[in-house]
Amino acid sequence: MVEFVHSFLQGITQKGAARRKSIDPVAADRFARTLDDYGFDYTLLGYSSDGIDPFGVASRVLARTSRLKTVVALRPNIAHPTVAAQALATLDQLGGGRTIVHIISGGSDAEQRRQGDYLDKAERYARSAEYIQLLRRIWTAEEPISHQGEFYRFEDFGPGSQPLSGGPLPISIGGASAEAIDAGARYADIFTLWGEPLRETAEQIERVRTRAKEVGRDPGEIRFWVTFRPVIAATEELAWAKAERLVAGVEGRQWAASGEQRTNVGSVRLQEIAAASERHDRNLWIPRGIAGAGGASSLLVGTPDTITDSLLDYVALGADIISLPSVGDLDATIDTGRYLLPAVRQRLASLVPGT
């Protein structure tokens, strides 16, 4: 079964004096209910050093919805694993089993240093690996545990709160570097991929599966998550005109300005793909000016039928989870929920009953 994600925080924050961000609770509630009503399975609560706490927002979302699951983005440098395990288990219990966690190792050295994290990338991925193993151990331990590792040390912790199921929460991790592939192949339930063309996406999935086999893990245990921004209109011509206005407008300029986040391997790969050609496959557009500036800088452009066909191409490659963010545009979110999600599900059901 394919599941759908929409990111959350972009649509409910606003900048005030001195560039400080605040949250609009009315907008947050409306956005959460929209995602719930229009069939999204998850909402991603992102994280940045200048952003809003995803744990607090996740609690609000869970209280305002009935089926939507929260994906809490978590950087290992911001919370000790004993603390994070307790907080995530509490969220899951309060929300009726609707919490998963996305581990962010960190793609920008400058961004990490803002919160006192001076490890290099290889060290950050090694820390993430230790962190994930500790989360699972804490969630399932029946007796107090102690640990002395490379990055964390504690004595006689727990047993702490467990997730509602009594087992570990699903954990996702992503990236395109060798370190990311290795960590994901070893420890991820879900591996997240940037929005690359079909050929490159297939290569990345195969890299993870091959590494999983090399470390003695069944590749079938890993689900794959891809992200694209859909731009929908009644005709192909209208859709491409809409996409071009989007990229040329204020939002596109803000995208292009976010260059600091574009030095990680995933961003560089998208920049190189865009430099060779901006348009790929049926209707994938990776504009050079915004390529790699966030996970949704790859656009699927067209009518609902065209975009549905493209999404099914990725499902055929092995995508189990598809993120379709609209970056805070409520009308675009509704269009995605109204026109794309049902169409993909219906098409899959007609091909393979039970999907």
Give φ, ψ of 296 to 5 degrees. Answer: -110, 30
Mean pLDDT of 52-56: 90
- pLDDT for the residue numbered 166: 95
Residue 141's pLDDT band, with cuts at 50, 70 and 90, is very high
Tracing tokens 């092995």 back to the chain, one arrives at 318
- Is residue 159 a part of any domain in this protein? yes
- Is residue 245 a part of any domain in this protein? no
Residue 283's nearest CA partner among 331, 330, 322, 228 is 228
- Is residue 343 a part of any domain in this protein? yes
- Is residue 235 a part of any domain in this protein? no
Q: How far apart are CA 337 and CA 6, in angstroms?
A: 10
Q: Is the pTM of this model over 0.85?
A: yes
- pLDDT for the residue numbered 46: 87
- Is residue 115 a part of any domain in this protein? yes
Q: How far apart are CA 172 and CA 132, in angstroms?
A: 10
- Is residue 199 a part of any domain in this protein? yes
* Domain extent for 217: 3-228+303-351
What is the token pair recorded at 319?
Answer: 């995508």
- Is residue 290 a part of any domain in this protein? no
Structural contact between residues 318 and 221, judged by C-beta atoms closer than 8 angstroms: no
- Is residue 253 a part of any domain in this protein? no
Residue 74's pLDDT band, with cuts at 50, 70 and 90, is very high
Q: Based on the structure, what is the number of domains in the chain?
A: 1
Summarize pLDDT for 115-138 with one digit per residue, the tens. 888 899 899 999 999 999 999 999
Summarize pLDDT for 181-232 with one digit per residue, the tens. 999 999 999 999 999 999 999 999 999 999 999 999 999 999 999 999 999 9
Q: How far apart are CA 252 and CA 244, in angstroms?
A: 9
CATH number of the domain encompassing residue 183: 3.20.20.30
